[in-house]
Amino acid sequence: MKILATRRYPGPAWDELSDVEVIPLADVSAPRSGVEALIVANEPVPLELLPELRIVANFGVGYDRIDVAALAAAGVTVTNTPGVLDAATADLTFALILAVRRRIVEGDRLVRSGRWRGSYADAFLGQEVTGSTLGIVGLGRIGAAVARRARGFDVRLLYAQRRSAETEIAEYRELDDLLRESDVVTLHVPRTPETEGLIDARRLALLRDGATLINTARGEIVDEDALVRELVAGRISAGLDVFAHEPDVPADLFGLPNVILTPHIGSASVQAREAMTRVVVDNLLAFERGTPVPTPVAA
């Protein structure tokens, strides 16, 4: 099976694939005959350039930039990599929570600037995560992994979810109430037509003064302009790993001490990325054998 991949994906499983051409989609300008499989990282699929395509293996759990319905209509199978990146993403979420609440990046910048003049009793005071209220929006696999990490910090855990989940690890709240009651709100819903703009200007205004918003899900879930306004006003703080127009990030955020910006690295651990490649390869090999693919995406 001839495979096109938009880059070389990490890990030993990669070598189990034969007949792979690595090429960014931007460089595919004319129709390619014979290509039956495509490996992408949540990128739009140019079906018109790949007329013999039969399977798209997405390197990632989120596939919001892939038109799954159009591919299904064309008889193309789509797979993703659920499960293997939950720990990495939950770890990064917690790293951002701690870093924002305890002003770690701000402190690092001061020390590196050479302007630090000593430790004063009233300098660099942050907020303890211990004992705070953490609101998790979307208690799926990643949200639940964040909840498990939060237990060690003795936080009060709230969660909001479209369909109520049976759980004892957190107390259910309507989204607006969760936003009003939490010290830290962290987003873990996929980007869908229902969740795009979910945290709009009205909902951002519900956050407490001094609250922290963490987004390791998708930038489009938040009204980015409204978020920038709240952050510039200094009313809230944030840890943002994802943005609405990646890799563009609103320049107004760059000078702000109350926001930490990371370059979409939720799943960027060696372990998660190698496991993601393993899942991609397993899907392709199963497809080639004619057996059910392990992690299909439902159209």
Binding residues for ligand DGY (CB under 6 A): 60-62, 85, 266-267
Pairing label, strands 77-79, 133-137: unpaired
Q: How far is the CB of 142 from ligand DGY (least distance, A)?
A: 9
CB 136 within 8 A of CB 167: no
In this structure, what token pair is assigned to residue 149? 């990490």
Q: How far is the CB of 43 from ligand DGY (least distance, A)?
A: 11
CA distance 221 to 196: 4
Catalytic position from the list 103, 218, 273, 278: 218
Q: How far is the CB of 263 from ligand DGY (least distance, A)?
A: 11
Q: How far is the CB of 229 from ligand DGY (least distance, A)?
A: 26
By beta-carbon proximity to ligand DGY, the closer residue of 71 and 85 is: 85
| φ and ψ of 260, to 5 deg | -110, 130
Active site (annotated) includes residue 218: yes
Catalytic position from the list 229, 264, 274, 288: 264
Active site (annotated) includes residue 264: yes
289 burial (CB, 10 Å; 0-12 / 13-18 / 19+) is exposed
- Could you give the angle at which helices 141-151 and 86-101 cross, rounded to 10 degrees? 50
The 10 Å Cβ neighbour count of residue 215 is 25
By beta-carbon proximity to ligand DGY, the closer residue of 129 and 221 is: 221
By beta-carbon proximity to ligand DGY, the closer residue of 126 and 190 is: 190
Catalytic position from the list 16, 21, 52, 246: 246
By beta-carbon proximity to ligand DGY, the closer residue of 179 and 217 is: 217
Would you give the distance in Å from CA 208 to the centre of its chain? 24
Q: How far is the CB of 9 from ligand DGY (least distance, A)?
A: 11
Helix, strand, coil shares of the chain, percent, nearest 5, are: 35, 15, 50
By beta-carbon proximity to ligand DGY, the closer residue of 267 and 295 is: 267
Q: How far is CA 34 from CA 22, 26, 28, 51, 280, in A?
A: 15, 19, 14, 8, 20
Active site (annotated) includes residue 246: yes
State yes or no: cis peptide before 46, omega within 30 of 0.
no
State the catalytic residues: 218, 246, 264
